[in-house]
Every structure is written in structure tokens, then in C-alpha cells.
Amino acid sequence: MTISPKILIIDDEPDNFDVIDTLLDNQGYELSYVNNGKQALELLEYFQPDVILLDVMMPEMNGIEFCKKFKSNSHWKHIPVIIVTALSSKEDLSQCLLAGADDFISKPINGLELRSRMRSMLRIKQQYDALQETLYLREDLSNMIVHDLRNPLTAIIMSAEILRITDYSPERQEKKTSQIITNAQKLQSMIDSLLIMAKLDSGKMTLQCTDTDIFDICSAAITDIELTITKKNIVLITKLPQPGITVSLDATLFRRVIDNLLSNAIKFTPEKSQISIFADYTPAGKFIIQIGDSGPGVKEELREVIFTKYEVGNLITGAYQIGLGLAFCKMVVEAHDGYIKVEENYPTGAIFIVEI
């Protein structure tokens, strides 16, 4: 849904508003009107326009006084102000600009000039909004990365500290050492994923494609999770193609995709339930892999969001931070000109589908 730009007109003459309303008719703007600067400052406490059209000559608080006060407020100063003035001397116009006005237009107002300047100021406002959104997204991403990296790092520190202060038997020392190595490998994997995603984003990543047997790559991934699913008492259902058929892809990256999807399936599947991995080739020479779980599933409105590295989704069971795993999967799959999606897995859970 397109949101109409909001224009606030501040002028003590209602007739001037009627003129502007007529000149901006059919431009798709939402026009609001107040007749003095004090009233505008009160309105701005709960309403923020995209552009302000401000008359200079007003009683109580003239346009220059209003502009100085308005532009000194950090919450408002990014909003463009066009001063409408009958003044024409260079000194007067200089005063308007020194007060913080972004542009000015002379009376009597020319419709073509007004519309052109309005589009120019809206473009500036939209660029500012886009920049702010990018900054917010980067902040969210930084927080997400810190969250994802903190857990394995904390486990490493705690295990190392326990080994330092505790007189463990060789068997328990071996267990703690294994935990440290496992979590260090998780950290390494996350860092590698971030570097790969940065290269994919910048277009600097070159896929190392080789003829790859989907049976082999899926079988190797299944072997690596056997101990984990056994501990959680999860049943794994598999249906793989016959070995010996190959497709061209970057086997290292695609193996990481399968590992991420299987890891998520195990994570969200309760004990004594099941996960599944089905793979097959299509008549067009492509292949499809489906990895299903028995977890809470993914709400329909979140089925696109969860693949975005800047987003936080909510599963049925409550708040759930997506992390970078699914975003990584999407970027790798799309780099292979494929697609990834998630659907409902009847009777419960989610099923992730990859086609390349």
C-alpha cells in the first residue's frame, strides 16, 4: 500500500492554503493546515510531516522564528522546510536560509515551480529515511551477530574455566575439551558464513562448481547428525535418489545449506518426534531437497521474513530470533539460480524446500 506524502502548510491566511491546495491537486499529497507557528509546534509533538510549507509573514511567531526553533529540535530538523515569501531582497532570502530553511519560493506562487520544489524536497526526505532505515538494519544485524556469537563463546570460556579450577578425571577432561572444540568450530562456522554472505552481497563471490552427486552430499550430512538425533530420540526418515547422478554446484557451500536446515529441524523438533530429508532430480535436470521437522511451524506471514538476515520473526511458540543461518541458505541457493521456501508440514511442523 502506497502512503501519501504528508505536507504541513503553516500560514495565517486561509486563502493562501486554498491556493496551494488547488496547485497541488491530483499530486497524491495529504495536506494539513495550521494558521500559526505556535499551533504548528504543538501539532508536531504527535504528527511529523514529510515537508513543511512555511509563510514568513505571520503574527506572534514569524516564519523565520519558527524555522529556527523547529530546526534546533533533533527530532524534526531532518524534515525539509520550504519558506513561502513575498520578500525578494538577497538579505531577506539569506535570513531564511540561515534560519535553517531548505528551500524557498516567492509569491505569487507558480504552480509548476511549487510542484517541482515539492518533489525535490520529498526526494531529499526519502533519501534521509532510506539512510536511517539502513542504519537501523545494520544495528539490528550487529545485535543479531553478537547474540549468535556469544553463546558458543560463553560455552568455551566456561568450559575452559572449569578445567582450570577443577581436578577432573581424564574422562571428564576429555568431555570438556570436546565441548570447547565443538563450540570453537561453531564460532568458526559462523564467521565463515558471515564472510561468505558479505562476498555474495558484494558480488565478489565466485562459485566453485563441480559435478556433485546429491546422494553423496546428503548421505554425508545425515551421517554427521546421527549421534545428535539419537541423543534426542528423534526418528529420521530419508528418501534419496540413486547414487551416480550429478549436478553442477558448489558442493562446499551447498553442504553448509543442508547442515543449516538439518540443524534447524533438529533444534525445533521435540524429543520422540521425527524429521525428514527427501531429495530427487527433476525432468529438467535440476534437483529438489525437502527437509521437514515436527516443530511449531512457521506462521504464513513470516515465511518470507525468516530468510531475511535483518529480521526477527515470531514462531507460534513465542519470540524467536532468526539469526543468520536461513539468510545464508537463501543467498547460497539464489547464487545457484535456485529458490528456497518454507511450507506447512502436516500434521505439524515446517518443511523447507530447495530447488536448484
Whether 6-109 and 139-202 share one fold: the answer is no
| Residue from 256, 196, 260, 259 nearest 223 by CA | 259
Phi and psi at residue 27, to the nearest 5°: -95, -5
Percent of all residues in the chain with a pLDDT value above 90, rounded to a whole number: 28
Most confident of 24-38, 94-108, 265-279: 265-279
**What does the mean pLDDT of the chain come to?**
84
Averaged pLDDT for residues 308-320:
46
What band does 52 get if pLDDT is binned at 50, 70 and 90? very high
Q: How many CB atoms lie within 10 A of CB 82?
A: 22
Report the SS3 class of residue 318. strand
Q: Is the pLDDT of residue 5 over 50?
A: yes
In this predicted structure, the answer to whether residue 144 has a pLDDT above a threshold of 70 is no
The CATH classification number of 139-202 equals: 1.10.287.130
pLDDT at 311 over 80: no
Q: Which CATH architecture has domain 210-355?
A: 2-Layer Sandwich (3.30)
C-alpha–C-alpha distance, residues 199 and 150, integer Å = 23
Residue 257 and residue 333 in contact, taking contact as beta carbons nearer than 8 Å: yes
Q: Which of 31, 24, 52, 57 is nearest to 40 (CA)?
A: 52
For residue range 284-306, list pLDDT tens digits in order.
888 999 999 998 888 888 888 88
> How confident is residue 316, by pLDDT bands cut at 50, 70 and 90?
very low
For the chain, domain boundaries? 6-109, 139-202, 210-355
Higher pLDDT: 345 or 319? It is 345
Give pLDDT tens digits for 199-226. Answer: 777 666 678 899 999 999 999 999 989 9
Q: Which amino acid is at 298?
A: V
What pLDDT, on the 0 to 100 scale, is given for residue 131?
83
Res. 147: pLDDT tops 80:
no
pLDDT at 319: 35
In DSSP notation, 13-47 reads: -HHHHHHHHHHTTTS--EEEEESSHHHHHHHTTT-
Answer whether residue 47 shows pLDDT above 80: yes
278 bridge partner residues:
239, 290
Does the pLDDT of residue 318 top 50, yes or no? Answer: no
Fold of the CATH domain 6-109:
Rossmann fold (3.40.50)
Distance CA 221, CA 214 (A): 11
Residue pLDDT, tens place only, 248-274: 999 988 998 998 899 889 989 999 999
* Residue 239 clears pLDDT 70, i.e. is over it: yes
